[in-house]
């Protein structure tokens, strides 16, 4: 009798885990579709500032294969300029309190064809996990051609 109860509990636990895994899989697919569909360029950065994800709109804005960006520092991927024509380095995960808390700026993004586009750039830190691992999300919205 005790063995039967244990088996029933085990079957119920397996069923619950399978439902949770299926829900997680569906949620992951929904996120992937959403990230591919938005009108903004999106970059994910790890705690060291290296690009770990680039969505299709970011690829379009940069005018090159997003896989070229993966594993590089964001400042090596994005060529950003201010309104005075000065090159801008973001250093989003630099530890600078003015940058680390997140923010936004209007800048010019230069793509691989050397075309400059006015963009609104927004970044936000992500702190998660038991060790408070740091990462960041960077969003670029095209405003108009320069």
Walking along the chain (146 residues) 10 residues at a time, the average pLDDT comes out as: 89 91 84 77 89 90 82 90 86 60 83 88 81 82 73
Euclidean distance between CA atoms 94 and 83, whole angstroms: 23
Q: For residue 124, with 0-12 CB atoms within 10 Å meaning exposed, 13-18 middle and 19 or more buried, which class applies?
A: middle
Assign 3-state DSSP to the chain and report helix, strand, coil percentages, each to 5.
35, 35, 30
Q: What confidence score (pLDDT) does residue 93 get?
A: 65
What are the residue ranges spanned by the domains of the chain? 1-37, 39-145
Which pLDDT value is given to residue 96?
A: 58
Architecture of domain 39-145: 2-Layer Sandwich (3.30)
Q: What is the pLDDT of residue 97?
A: 53
Strand partners, 144: 118
| Residue 61: predicted pLDDT | 86
Round to whole Å and give the CA distance between 26 and 24: 5
Would the pTM count as exceeding 0.75? no
């Amino acid at each position: 009798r005790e063995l039967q109860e244990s088996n029933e509990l085990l079957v119920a636990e397996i069923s619950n885990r399978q439902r949770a895994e299926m829900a997680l899989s569906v949620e992951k697919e929904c996120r992937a579709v959403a990230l591919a569909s938005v009108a903004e360029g999106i970059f994910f950065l790890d705690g060291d500032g290296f690009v770990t994800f680039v969505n299709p709109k970011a690829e379009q804005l940069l005018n090159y294969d997003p896989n070229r960006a993966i594993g590089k520092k964001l400042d090596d991927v994005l060529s950003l300029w201010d309104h005075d024509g000065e090159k801008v380095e973001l250093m989003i995960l630099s530890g600078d309190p003015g940058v680390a808390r997140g923010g936004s700026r209007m800048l010019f993004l230069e793509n691989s064809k050397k075309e400059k586009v006015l963009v609104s750039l927004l970044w936000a830190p992500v702190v998660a996990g038991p060790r408070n691992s740091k990462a960041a999300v960077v969003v670029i919205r095209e405003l108009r051609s320069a």
